[in-house]
Amino acid sequence: MHFTLGSDLVALREHALKTFRDAAPSAEHSLYDDLWAAAPVPDDDSLLRAALIAEAAGASCGPFHPGERIALAWIAARHPGLRPVLESAPHVLAAVCQGTDGALEIRRGAGTFAVDGTFRVLAPDTATAGHALVLAAHRRRRFLVSVPLAGRGVRVTSSRTVQPDRRLLTVTLDQVGVPEHQALSWDAERALVSLGQVLAAAELLGVMQWTLDACVDRARSREQFGRPIGAFQSVAHTCADMLCAVELSRSMVYAAAARHDGSGAPEAHTAAVTRILLRHESLPVLTEAVQLFGADGLRWSGDLHRQLRRCQVLRSLWGTPASTTDDVIEYLRGQVAAAAAE
């Protein structure tokens, strides 16, 4: 056992951060595409590498959404049958908003499936997403289905989100026909959501670290009453609390990502705990930062509000807070029952 990052992993995080800061789209793809090129094996560091890339994206302050991209690459690697479908058209991933609760109903026809229901999905604002990959259910079987986001039987309501580069689409499907090859059996929806929870947490960690760094720079350089504001105990203690939040969160994210189930997905309970922790620790860091920056923190031209918005979005993804809490409570009840049985 060793609990610190090796030099190769630190270098990966630095390389990813530089790539995101340089904002070269092709280079960004290279980060994701290599991740699952080889099938994960137990004890490898594939998930940790994915988390470090997501962290770097969060710390870059750029318009990158690695969690969804990495999850799509993971699906393609796990289910080669989906690869041609995913490569035929750009997809967005509905599980980001669906969690494990919102599977659509599908019915089998002659060579096709008919899909009904409503789901929500985040889509880039700059381009029209052609398809969404949604979780669906037929009797007791689960499927991943590629559905079109335009055409007959498809109704889409688009809403702006707090992140200017992303829109929230509410999609209603009314007996939309999907060829059978676009609906593939899928038994890993929980693993997918767990993966997404840890990647979103890692990106939040990057956002928190960026915010802490910005606050410390500000506390050292901004002078009021003839001295740096970091000389005032209230400001210094605020920064100290932020460091505590960042390091506690980093410890949880790295621990959750350091071990996977053999497929590259984290253990479900650890992922739920990680989501709960980061959801709780992240937002106060951002809101305290706005206070520390004063009115400068409210400027549209600054980066702080962009990170605040990113934080708000990331906290909302991959399942409802209630469902995540339920998972943890069930775990704790199980622990008590097991101890009583002993």
Partner 1 sequence: MNVTETPDQARFRHELRTWLDAHVRPEWREPGFEEQASVALRFAVRRKWHRTLATGGWIGVEWPVEYGGRGLTPVHGLILSEELARARALPIADWVGVELVAPTLLRCGSHEQRERYLPGIMDGSQVWCQGFSEPAAGSDLAAVTTVATRTADGYRISGHKRWTSWAQFADFALVLARTGDPAERHRTLSCFIVPLGSPGVTIEPIPMLYGDAEECDLHLDDVEVPADALVGEENKGWRTVMTSLTLARGSATLIRIAALKRTFDGLTRDVFAPGVPAAGLPDDSVLRSLALLHARLEALGHLARRKMGEMEDDGLPGQIASTEKLLWARLSSDIARFGMETQDLDGIVEPDPTGVSTGWRREMYRAMANEIEGGTNAIQRTTIARHVLKLPC
Binding stretches for partner 1 (CB under 8 A): 1-6, 9, 43, 45, 48, 216, 219-220, 227-228, 230-233, 235-237, 239-241, 243-244, 247-252, 254-255, 258-259, 270, 273-274, 276-277, 280, 321-322, 325, 328-329, 332-333, 335-337, 339-340
CA 50, CA 214: separation in Å to the nearest integer? 25
> 68 or 288, CB closer to partner 1?
288
* Of 243, 253, 248, residue with least CA distance to 289: 243
Judge whether 113 and 152 are in contact, CB under 8 Å: no
- Give the angle 127-130-133 at the CA atoms, nearest 5°: 120
Strand-pairing partners, residue 146, are 133
CB of 65 to partner 1, least distance (A): 25
* Of 263, 314, 324, residue with least CA distance to 75: 263
CB of 315 to partner 1, least distance (A): 14
Tokens of residue 253, six digits: 């994210």
CB of 206 to partner 1, least distance (A): 17
> 187 or 342, CB closer to partner 1?
342
CB of 210 to partner 1, least distance (A): 15
CB of 289 to partner 1, least distance (A): 14
> 13 or 65, CB closer to partner 1?
13
Residue in the structure block whose two tokens are 């937002």: 283
User: From residue 129, how far is each of 126, 156, 166 by CA, in Å?
Assistant: 9, 12, 11
CB of 207 to partner 1, least distance (A): 17
State the DSSP code for 110: S
State the DSSP code for 61: T
CB of 254 to partner 1, least distance (A): 7
> 98 or 249, CB closer to partner 1?
249
CB of 331 to partner 1, least distance (A): 8
> 34 or 241, CB closer to partner 1?
241
Q: What distance lies between CA 321 and its chain's CA centroid?
A: 14
CA 183, CA 265: separation in Å to the nearest integer? 22
Judge whether 161 and 313 are in contact, CB under 8 Å: yes
Tokens of residue 216, six digits: 């410390």
* Of 16, 3, 91, residue with least CA distance to 60: 16
> 89 or 329, CB closer to partner 1?
329
Judge whether 55 and 203 are in contact, CB under 8 Å: yes
